[in-house]
Amino acid sequence: MYEPDPGANEREAVSPEAGSEEQQAERALRPRTLDDFVGQERVREQLSLVLHSAQRRGSAPDHVLMSGPPGLGKTTLAMIIAGELNAPLRITSGPAIERSGDLAAVLSTLQEGEVLFLDEIHRMARPAEEMLYVAMEDFRVDVMVGKGPGATAIPLDIAPFTLVGATTRAGLLPAPLRDRFGFTAQMDFYDPEELERILHRSAGLLDAPMAAEAGAEIARRSRGTPRIANRLLRRVRDYAEVRGDGNLTLDTARAALDLYEVDASGLDRLDRAILDSLMTKFRGGPVGLSTLAVAVGEESETVEAVAEPFLVRSGFVARTPRGRVATPLAWNHMGLTPPPDAAFGAGAAADTGTGAPVTP
């Protein structure tokens, strides 16, 4: 039976970069309990039931899978889960698990009831993935001894643990792995009001007096993402300390965010470069991803994974079977006039696959 260890401390297996000042600042702003965690109301309620029911039974909770875009609090929730259980926390990531032996080394050293946080779980090597199936279900790993026809699998019992997996691409997880999680949490983008609450809490922890209007301005430019909101808050604080009196006012926030090239809609330099190229070089599209990436001097993966999700979600870009198309909102935002034959008015097929034209 699992008994929580009230004296347990976090043990993080992280990369050397995790010790940087910026990442230390991020960790300092993270809430430590479910009550302090802002937003994701339904996920918090569901997770609270999973944890409290397991505590009443005196057993380790079911494995938890959290999916959603980066920066929404998946790592923070993993830390909160360990804190709520008074259990140790081990942190690793999918890319770090290159072989099944790497996973076996981690699992065999887990304490009873320990929480294992596996970030980017969709990037784990397939042999390790298959070993994880058995570990999650039967708390056992099969270690292969020898090679060829004489190889033997030796079962090794491991301590009951709770796996918390995080992924930004849940569709890449094989069904057998997804099915072994007892609870799946889908993380959503945050409302501006929720981001304001996060920002005021963070400003208090940073000892940076912030006006309500400044918090609203930063929240509006944060793309619905707490990580971005806290990062912008730190840049506004830097600006206020160097070029102001240390107080985060509306004028200070606007001046700082303009300096860091984050506009009123949350678009940064790369976003605007994509829109500008799409409209000035390709007449609004449609244009292929690789061609657009070359035009802005970035890798296709960067454009597709970093900039495009926000541009599409915000209605600035439409993805069609023929390529990317600038929407009327994008033309208006950039202060440009679309040509008479702009794609959104010239029968470009929408991304629905129905062949219907994109209309303004």
Task: Say yes or no to pLDDT of 11 above 70.
Answer: no
The architecture that CATH gives domain 192-259 is: Orthogonal Bundle (1.10)
How far apart (Å, rounded) are the C-alpha atoms in residues 143 and 140?
10
DSSP string, 256-295: HHHHTT--TTS--HHHHHHHHHHHHTSTT--B-HHHHHHH
Which pLDDT band holds residue 24 (cuts at 50, 70, 90)?
low
pLDDT of residue 307: 85
Mean pLDDT of the chain: 82
Q: Is the pTM of this model over 0.95?
A: no
Which of 44, 75, 249, 324 is the catalytic position? 75
**Each residue of 114-139: pLDDT tens digit?**
899 999 988 888 888 888 888 888 88
Nearest to 118 by CA among 128, 19, 277: 128
Burial class from Cβ neighbours inside 10 Å (0-12, 13-18, 19+) for residue 215 reads buried
The answer to whether residues 145 and 45 touch, using CB atoms and an 8 Å cutoff, is no
In DSSP terms, 311 is beta-bridged to none
How far apart (Å, rounded) are the C-alpha atoms in residues 72 and 227?
7
Angle at the Cα of 86 (from 85 to 92), degrees rounded to 5?
85
pLDDT of residue 131: 83
pLDDT of residue 14: 38
Nearest to 324 by CA among 281, 283, 291, 289: 289
- Strand 162-167 vs strand 64-67: parallel, antiparallel, or unpaired? parallel
The answer to whether residues 117 and 90 touch, using CB atoms and an 8 Å cutoff, is yes
pLDDT of residue 352: 34
Per-residue pLDDT, averaged over 66-90, amounts to: 89
**Each residue of 312-331: pLDDT tens digit?**
988 898 888 888 998 899 88
Task: Say yes or no to pLDDT of 153 above 70.
Answer: no
**Chain mean position to CA 245:** 34
The answer to whether residues 106 and 92 touch, using CB atoms and an 8 Å cutoff, is yes
What is the widest separation between alpha-carbon atoms in the chain?
74
Per-residue pLDDT, averaged over 166-182, amounts to: 87
pLDDT of residue 231: 92
193 versus 338: the higher-pLDDT residue is: 193
How far apart (Å, rounded) are the C-alpha atoms in residues 49 and 199?
27
33 is catalytic: no
Per-residue pLDDT, averaged over 286-300, amounts to: 88
pLDDT of residue 248: 92
**Residue 279 structure tokens:** 């409209």
DSSP string, 128-139: HHHHHHHHHHHS
**Each residue of 264-276: pLDDT tens digit?**
888 989 999 999 9
How far apart (Å, rounded) are the C-alpha atoms in residues 42 and 61?
18
Pick the CATH number of 10-186 from 3.40.50.300, 2.30.30.110, 3.40.50.1980, 3.20.20.70: 3.40.50.300
74 is catalytic: yes
Which of 74, 221, 231, 324 is the catalytic position? 74
Task: Say yes or no to pLDDT of 107 above 80.
Answer: yes
The answer to which of 24-33, 61-70, 304-313 has the lowest mean pLDDT is 24-33
The answer to whether residues 136 and 179 touch, using CB atoms and an 8 Å cutoff, is no
The answer to whether residues 228 and 262 touch, using CB atoms and an 8 Å cutoff, is no
- Domain assignments of the chain as residue spans, ordered by start: 10-186, 192-259, 269-345
119 is catalytic: yes
Which pLDDT band holds residue 306 (cuts at 50, 70, 90)?
confident
**Residue 301 structure tokens:** 């993966």
Is the domain spanning 269-345 CATH 1.10.10.10? The answer is yes
**Chain mean position to CA 99:** 25
Which of 119, 167, 271, 320 is the catalytic position? 119
Which of 90, 227, 237, 272 is the catalytic position? 227
Percent of the chain scoring above 90 in pLDDT: 23
How far apart (Å, rounded) are the C-alpha atoms in residues 81 and 318?
38
**Each residue of 176-216: pLDDT tens digit?**
888 889 899 898 899 999 999 999 999 988 888 999 999 99
pLDDT of residue 237: 93
**Residue 313 structure tokens:** 């979600």
Which of 76, 92, 162, 168 is the catalytic position? 168
pLDDT of residue 239: 92
> Taking the CB of residue 130, how many other CB atoms lie within 10 A of it?
15
75 is catalytic: yes
CA atoms within 13 A on the CB side of 147: 0
How far apart (Å, rounded) are the C-alpha atoms in residues 352 and 160?
46
pLDDT of residue 357: 34
Hey, what amino acid is at 209? P
**Each residue of 220-265: pLDDT tens digit?**
999 999 999 999 999 999 999 998 888 899 999 999 999 999 998 8
Task: Say yes or no to pLDDT of 347 above 80.
Answer: no
How far apart (Å, rounded) are the C-alpha atoms in residues 52 and 57?
9
169 is catalytic: no
